[in-house]
Structure 1
Amino acid sequence: MEKQLSYSMAILGLLLALGMSGAAFILGVQAKKAVSAQQSVSVKGLAEKAVQADNAEWTVTVSVSAENFAQALANLRQERPGLDMFLVKHGLDKTSWQEGAEAVTPHMIDVPLANGGTRSEQRGYDASQSIVVTTKDLIKVTAANKDILSVQATGKPFTAGAPLYLVSNLEDVKMSLIGAATENARNRAKEFVKHDGVNVGVMRSASQGAFYILPPGGTSDGDDYGGTYDKTTINKTAKVVVTIVYNIEQ
């Protein structure tokens, strides 16, 4: 009886030992997986490429003054045909125009006071009208913008802002750069860990940072989550930044 009891106790001890060993092994594997899952590397990916504006917006304005409202409006309507002729002469026909409304406003000046300071007084009226030219013919807009000075030199009351050179397919450009920047980020992650005997695993998280449209040779200094859009040049450089976190596998 005692032998049978001793034998049973021995079997029970063996089973308990095996159970504890198995549990320890399972817990060890789970712990290793948990540690491995917590290891990660965060990298920035960059990509850029040359792009070219394919659209332009150019605002030109005629502005005049007169002593009274009616005369200011009459002067505006008298000068406006000259601006139309200038645009048509440069190949910018009316199909590309968006005409603003005629505007007549009081002309205010600051008059010095005897005891110092100034007082605002009305001296006649100002009248103006703007035209926004939108076209894909960038050469014609550029030429007209250069020639506006010679027209102003003749006394014509025309002014113009610098043309805005725009890229119409910005979303397509951005998407192509995101793919390239993501690949760049994985390559960077591999470089970071290649000496540690580990591998870059699946992507844990990703976020797009700044999207830049820069002039040739321009820099992208500044907030990674901001971005800039250069509209002063025809030839540009598009650049995107992404931040990606990868799991590290043992």
Structure 2
Amino acid sequence: MSDNRLVPALVFGGLLAVGLIGGGALVGQGIVNLRAGDRTVTVRGLSEREVKADLAVLPLRFTASGEVLSDVQARIDADLATVRAFLTAQGYPAAAVDLGRLEVADTRSREYGNQQGPRFILAQTVVVRTNDVARVQATTRALNDLVRQGVVLQDFQGPSYIFTKLNDVRPAMIAEATAAARSGAEQFAKDSGNPLGPIRQATQGSFEILPRDGDGGEAAAIDKKVRVVATITYRLR
């Protein structure tokens, strides 16, 4: 009688074992599929382009000092006339030359508290803004002529050269960076033996404008390099 009961128990146990084995196989397959679905490759694509500045800004700040304010003002006015004549001789139209604010400092005031040196210091700024970048470059080399005429230039940092046409090159550079990223992803997929799938995530980095030759600051360089990096994650099938 116990033998008769043992047979069904063995059969049931065998079926249960088969079921567990089958269930384990399904769970294992599920993990494999999950990992296969999450397999990705992240690549970066670079695009660089050489450009030239198309806008130049040249600030000229000059000073005069003395004990009598009216005398110092007269010297500043004379220097201003000299600077305007110099810029006209350099070929700039009046529309390209802007007059900045006049700065007046009284060194005997409580703010300064200086009892030595000239009492009044006046500073005037003239700003040249033009698309004629080559002319500004030539003017910078000719500033000694202005100094020889008695104009005291203060805190001269040179002109700033600006590239304003980023929107003109942006679409093509993004396309180049994206194509470079895809080329790298295709090579990786080929090497790994997995077909390349669709894009899972894409990030476009900020555009950078750098000096072309890597010397000095970007603003001081006429020749520049525009750079962008696209980071793209692809699925692998």
Aligned partner of 1:153 among 148, 159, 166: 148
Q: Show structure 1 runs of 5+ residues with no match.
A: 1-16, 109-118, 220-227
**1:128 deviation in Å?**
1.2
Q: Deviations over 1:55-98 (max 9, x none)?
A: 11111122111113332222211221000000111011220122
Q: Does 1:233 align with 2:229?
A: no
Question: SS in structure 2 opposite 1:150?
Answer: helix
**Comparing both structures, which one devotes a greater share of its residues to strand?**
1
Q: Deviations over 1:116-135 (max 9, x none)?
A: xxx84353111111111111
Aligned partner of 2:162 among 146, 163, 166: 166
Tell me if structure 1 keeps the 8 A contact 2:99–2:127.
Answer: yes
Alpha-carbon distance between aligned partners in 2 of 1:186 and 1:204, rounded to the nearest angstrom: 12
Could you tell me which residue of structure 1 aligns to residue 131 of structure 2? 136
Q: Alpha carbons of 1:243 and 1:172: their partners in 2 closer, same or farther (altered >3 Å)?
A: same
What TM-score, normalized by structure 2, do the two folds share?
A: 0.78
Could you tell me which residue of structure 2 aligns to residue 211 of structure 1? 207
**1:156 deviation in Å?**
2.3
Tell me if structure 1 keeps the 8 A contact 2:83–2:146.
Answer: no
Could you tell me which residue of structure 2 aligns to residue 198 of structure 1? 194
Aligned partner of 1:175 among 171, 194, 202: 171
**1:229 deviation in Å?**
7.6
| Letter matched to residue 141 of structure 2 | K
Could you tell me which residue of structure 2 aligns to residue 58 of structure 1? 58
- Matched residue pairs, number? 214
Could you tell me which residue of structure 1 aligns to residue 35 of structure 2? 35
Tell me if structure 2 keeps the 8 A contact 1:50–1:237.
Answer: yes
Q: Show structure 2 runs of 5+ residues with no match.
A: 1-17
Tell me if structure 2 keeps the 8 A contact 1:58–1:161.
Answer: no
Alpha-carbon distance between aligned partners in 1 of 2:177 and 2:217, rounded to the nearest angstrom: 19
| Letter matched to residue 239 of structure 1 | R
| Letter matched to residue 194 of structure 1 | K
Q: Deviations over 1:30-63 (max 9, x none)?
A: 6554322211111111111111111111111221
- Over aligned residues, Cα RMSD in angstroms? 2.9
Q: Any residues of structure 2 matched to 1:88-107 within 5 Å, and which?
A: 88-107=88-107
| Letter matched to residue 106 of structure 2 | P
